[in-house]
Amino acid sequence: MTRLGTMTRQPGSSAQETSPGAGPGCSFRNVRERLQDSGLRPTRQRMALGWLLFGKGDRHVTAEALYEEARGAKTLLSLATVYNTLRQFSEAGLLREIAVYGSRIWYDTNTGPHFHFYVEDRDQLLDVPDDLMAVLKMPTAPNGMEIIGADVIVRVKAAPQA
Binding site for Zn ion (CB under 5 A): 108, 110, 127
C-alpha to C-alpha distance for 25 and 22, rounded to whole angstroms = 8
**In the complex, what is the shortest distance from the CB of residue 125 to Zn ion, in angstroms, rounded to a whole number?**
7
Cβ 35 vs Cβ 28: under 8 Å: no
Nearer to Zn ion, 80 or 126 (CB): 126
Nearer to Zn ion, 67 or 108 (CB): 108
**In the complex, what is the shortest distance from the CB of residue 96 to Zn ion, in angstroms, rounded to a whole number?**
7
C-alpha to C-alpha distance for 88 and 146, rounded to whole angstroms = 26
**In the complex, what is the shortest distance from the CB of residue 148 to Zn ion, in angstroms, rounded to a whole number?**
18
Nearer to Zn ion, 35 or 108 (CB): 108
Cβ 69 vs Cβ 75: under 8 Å: no
Helix (H, G, I), strand (E, B) or coil at 16: helix
**In the complex, what is the shortest distance from the CB of residue 151 to Zn ion, in angstroms, rounded to a whole number?**
10
Listed in sequence order, the residues at least 6 apart from 121 whose beta carbon sits closer than 8 Å to its beta carbon are: 157, 158
Residue sitting closest to Zn ion (CB): 108
Nearer to Zn ion, 67 or 106 (CB): 106
Phi/psi of residue 25, each to 5°?
A: -95, -145
